[in-house]
Amino acid sequence: MNASTFEKLQLNEVKELVKVHCASSLGKELIDKLNPSGKKNIVKQRLNENKEARKIIENSNHIPLEGLSNVNTLIDKIEKGMILDPHELIKIQDFLRGSRKIQSFMFDMQFYAPTLSAYALNITGCENIESEIDACIKGNKVDSQASKELKKIRRNIEVTENKIKERLNKFLMASGNKQYIQEFVVSKRNGRYVIPIKASYKNEVNGVILDTSAKGNTVFVEPQNISKFSVALICLQSEESIEENKILSYLTELIFAEIKNIKLNIEVIAAYDMVFAKAKYSQNINGMTPKINDQGYIKIVNGKHPLLKGDIVPLNVEIGKNYRSLLITGPNAGGKTVSLKTVGLLTLMVQCGFDICASEDTVINVFEKVFVDIGDNQSIENALSTFSSHIQNIAQIMNLTNHCTLVLLDEIGSGTEPNEGAALAIAILEEVYKKGCITMASTHYGEIKKYAQLHPEFENAGMMFDKDTLQPLYKLTIGMSQDSNALFISKKMGIKDKVLKKAKEYMDDKNYHFDLVKRSKIESSEKKSEEEKEIPVYEIGDKVKLLDEDDFGIIYAPVNKFNNVKVLYNGKFVELNVRRIALHLRATELYPEGYDLNSLFVSYKERKLDRDIERGSKKALKKIQKEMKQKR
C-alpha cells in the first residue's frame, strides 16, 4: 500500500474525522501514523479494541483522558541534559497524576474490556515524583519550603529589602530633598532600588545614577546610604538563583531516573486516546465491526461511504466466492466510481481498526496490498496524457501485486481508440486475475462485458438507471450488465428515430453506408437555412423604417408565411416584405406596459365615436344609423 492509494480512497480524510474525538495531541499523532495492517491477527486485535472501547463509553459517563497534555518535548529536553523550569515540572506532574487516574479507571473496567484494561498494567505510578514536585513548586515558582537554605536566603532577602525601603522612604520624607524629587515613589532599575530625581538636581544628590528617562528630564538615583545594602541584596539574589537551580535540577533528575517508565506511560496513554477516539467515531456514525477473513472474500451489505452526506443509496456487493473479478457497467455519473471507492475505503478502514457503516452480515477481507487507478492522472510536468498516466500507474500495480491484493480500476482502457482500449483492458484484467488478485473494474466497453460473461471467474454488475426520469439509481446489481443508455437518452432528448435506428444498426453490424448527397442540394439547403436564420421578428406596435420611402411606419400585423408584414404608413395599411423595412424602436420602448396598441390604428374621430357609443350617446347612434342608410 502507498500514499497514492490512501489519497485516492480518501483514507486521510476519514482519519481527520476520527482525530476530532481525541483528547490530546498524543492520540492525534498516533492516528496520523496509523496505517492499514495486512495481518489478520493485528486487524482482529484492533477491531476487538474498538468493541471494548465502545462498551466502556456506553457504560461510563466520563473517561479521564481530558487534561493529559503531550509531554514528549519535555522528555526530549531532559534527555538532552536540560533542566526543567517550574511550569514544565507542573506539566510532568499533571501527566503522571492523569496516568494514575486512567490506570485506576481501566482496572475498574475489566468486566467490559479485559484486553484494554490489561494495557493499564504497563502504566507505572510515580507518586514520589508527584509528591516532590508538589512540595517544591507552588504557583509555578520554587517554594521557600523546598529547602532550609532557600528559606534562609529568602528571609535575608526580605530583611535586606526592608532596610533599603526604610532608608528610601526616609529620603523621600526628608524636607530638604523635596525640591530634588521628580516623583515621590520608590522605583526599580535593573533590579536595584532607585528614586526619580529631577535632572537639573542630579549633582545635588549623593548617589549613583542608574538610568535616565526617555526625555532626559528625570534621572534614577540609588542613594549612597543604601549602596551597601543593594550590593548585599544582589549577592543574596544570586544565592537564591543557585539554590533554586539545585532544587529544579534535583526534581529533573528524579524524572530522568524514571524516564523509561514515563515514556511507556506516554505510549499507553496515546494508545488509549486513539482507541477511545475510534470508538467515539464509531458511535457517531452508528458503525459496526464486520467479520474478517484472509481468503479473498468480500461481502458488503448496505455499506455506506463515510464521507458522503445526505440520503445515500447503500452498496451491496459480493466478490471472492464464485468469482474473483467484478466488472461494473452503467451510465456516466451513475455511481460506478463511488462503488469502487466505497469497497476500497471500507477495506482500508477495517484494516486500520475503524468500524464502518454497514449491516451485520458484512465481511471484509484483510489484504496485504490495495491498489487503485481512479481519477484523472494527467501529468503536465511529465508530459503524460491521461491515458499514458493511467497505463503507467497500472504497469506499476501489475509489478507489485500478489495473491493477497485488492485491485480497483476505474474506466479501464479508456482514453484511447476503443478497440485497442478494450483489448488492452481484457489483457490487463487477465494478468491480474492470474496473479490471484481480487479485482473490481468499471467500464463502458461491450467487449469487456462479453469477456466477463464468458470467463468462469469473472462476473458482470450494473448500476441501475431509471428510464422514465433519465436519472441513475446508484444501485449495483450483480449478475447483469448495464449499457450506458446513450441511445435511450438520445431518444428522450429529441434525436430523430431514423438516426437512432441507423446507430443501432451500426452497433450490431459494422457495414457502414456511404450514400452521396448532391452538392447542389447541400448548397440549397445551406442557403435556405441561412435565409431562415436571417428573418427578423416584428411585433405589433414596433416602429420601423421603410427603406424605399426613407420614412417611418408602425407594424400592424406580424410576419406571415410569405415573410410579409402589414405596416400603418401615412394613415394607410400597406403590405411589405421584411427585407424592405428595418427596425427602429420596439413597441416596449415606445409605450408603457398595458398600453392598448390597437388604438394606434384608428383615428381620433373613430376613437371618440367608440367612447360615445360606450356612454350611450344618442347623437353617436344617429350618426351610425345615418352612415348605414347611405351605404344602402
243-294 pLDDT, tens digit per residue, is 999 999 999 999 999 999 999 999 999 999 999 999 999 999 999 999 999 9
Q: CA–CA separation, 558 vs 536, rounded Å?
A: 10
pLDDT band at 25 (very low <50, low <70, confident <90, very high): very high
Residues 324/439, Cβ–Cβ less than 8 Å: yes
Angle between helices 25-33 and 11-19 (to 10 degrees): 160
Per-residue pLDDT at 617: 63
Q: Kindly report, residue by residue over 93-114, the tens digit of the pLDDT.
A: 999 999 999 999 999 999 999 9
Among residues 291, 289, 296, 293, the alpha carbon closest in space to that of 406 is found at: 296
Among residues 506, 510, 470, 507, the alpha carbon closest in space to that of 488 is found at: 470
Per-residue pLDDT at 609: 59
pLDDT band at 532 (very low <50, low <70, confident <90, very high): low
In our burial notation (b when 16+ CB lie closer than 10 A, e otherwise), range 614-625 reads eeeeeebeeeee
Average pLDDT for the chain: 87
In this structure, of 197-211, 270-284, 455-469, 538-552, the range with the lowest mean pLDDT score is: 455-469
Sign of CA dihedral 534, 537, 543, 544: positive
Exposed / middle / buried, residue 79 (Cβ in 10 Å: 0-12, 13-18, 19+): exposed
Measure Cα distances from 352 to 30, 31, 283, 294, 622 in Å: 12, 9, 17, 15, 102
Sign of CA dihedral 139, 140, 142, 146: positive
Strand order from edge to edge, sheet including 405-409: 369-373, 405-409, 438-442, 325-329, 458-466, 471-478
Measure Cα distances from 94 to 65, 134, 144 in Å: 12, 10, 22
Q: CA–CA separation, 318 vs 32, rounded Å?
A: 31
Measure Cα distances from 122 to 119, 266, 267, 429 in Å: 6, 10, 9, 49
Q: CA–CA separation, 194 vs 222, rounded Å?
A: 5
Per-residue pLDDT at 145: 95
Residues 317/360, Cβ–Cβ less than 8 Å: no
Measure Cα distances from 284 to 9, 36, 197, 280, 358 in Å: 21, 21, 70, 6, 14
Q: DSSP per residue over 568-596, as a string?
A: EETTEEEEEEGGGEEEEE-HHHHS-TT--
Q: Is the pLDDT of residue 509 over 90?
A: no
- Give the bridge partners for 291, in sequence order: 363
**DSSP reduced 3-state for 238:** helix
Per-residue pLDDT at 378: 41
- Give the bridge partners for 223, in sequence order: 207
pLDDT band at 339 (very low <50, low <70, confident <90, very high): very high
Q: CA–CA separation, 348 vs 361, rounded Å?
A: 18
Calculate mean pLDDT across residues 455-478.
80
Among residues 381, 385, 429, 384, the alpha carbon closest in space to that of 407 is found at: 429
Residues 470/331, Cβ–Cβ less than 8 Å: no
Q: Is the pLDDT of residue 497 over 70?
A: yes
Reported residue count of the chain is 632
Residues 438/407, Cβ–Cβ less than 8 Å: yes
Q: Kindly report, residue by residue over 58-92, the tens digit of the pLDDT.
A: 998 789 997 788 999 999 999 999 999 999 999 99
pLDDT band at 32 (very low <50, low <70, confident <90, very high): very high
Retrieve residue 73's grid coordinates: 518535548
Q: Is 13 left (phi over 0), alpha (psi -120 to 50) or beta?
A: alpha
Per-residue pLDDT at 260: 97
Q: CA–CA separation, 366 vs 294, rounded Å?
A: 5
pLDDT band at 492 (very low <50, low <70, confident <90, very high): low
Sign of CA dihedral 158, 160, 166, 169: negative
Calculate mean pLDDT across residues 212-224.
92
In this structure, of 142-151, 234-243, 527-536, the range with the lowest mean pLDDT score is: 527-536
Q: DSSP per residue over 150-205, as a string?
A: HHHHHHHHHHHHHHHHHHHHHHHH-GGGTTTBSSSS-EEETTEEEEEEEGGGTTTS
Q: Is the pLDDT of residue 504 over 90?
A: no
Per-residue pLDDT at 66: 79
Residues 121/114, Cβ–Cβ less than 8 Å: no
Residues 6+ apart with CB under 8 A from 327: 429, 441, 442, 443, 448, 449, 452, 458, 459, 460, 461, 481
Q: Is the pLDDT of residue 604 over 70?
A: no
Q: When comparing pLDDT for 1 and 38, which is higher?
A: 38
Q: Is the pLDDT of residue 631 over 60?
A: no
Assign 3-state DSSP to the chain and report helix, strand, coil percentages, each to 5. 50, 20, 30
Radius of gyration, CA atoms only, the chain = 46
Retrieve residue 24's grid coordinates: 490530546
Q: Kindly report, residue by residue over 427-453, the tens digit of the pLDDT.
A: 999 999 999 999 999 988 888 889 999
Residues 542/582, Cβ–Cβ less than 8 Å: no
In this structure, of 36-50, 67-81, 442-456, 494-508, the range with the lowest mean pLDDT score is: 494-508
Q: CA–CA separation, 525 vs 515, rounded Å?
A: 17
Q: Is the pLDDT of residue 608 over 70?
A: no
State percent of the chain over pLDDT 70: 85
Q: When comparing pLDDT for 587 and 270, which is higher?
A: 270
Calculate mean pLDDT across residues 179-197.
91
Residues 350/481, Cβ–Cβ less than 8 Å: no
Q: CA–CA separation, 145 vs 570, rounded Å?
A: 117
Phi, psi of 577 (to 5 degrees): -75, 145
Residues 324/407, Cβ–Cβ less than 8 Å: no
**DSSP reduced 3-state for 456:** coil
**DSSP reduced 3-state for 508:** helix
Q: Walk me through the domains of the chain, giving residue ranges and CATH numbers.
A: 10-126+258-284 (1.10.1420.10), 146-235 (1.10.1420), 291-484 (3.40.50.300), 536-590 (2.30.30), 602-632 (no CATH)
Per-residue pLDDT at 484: 54
Q: Is the pLDDT of residue 333 over 80?
A: no
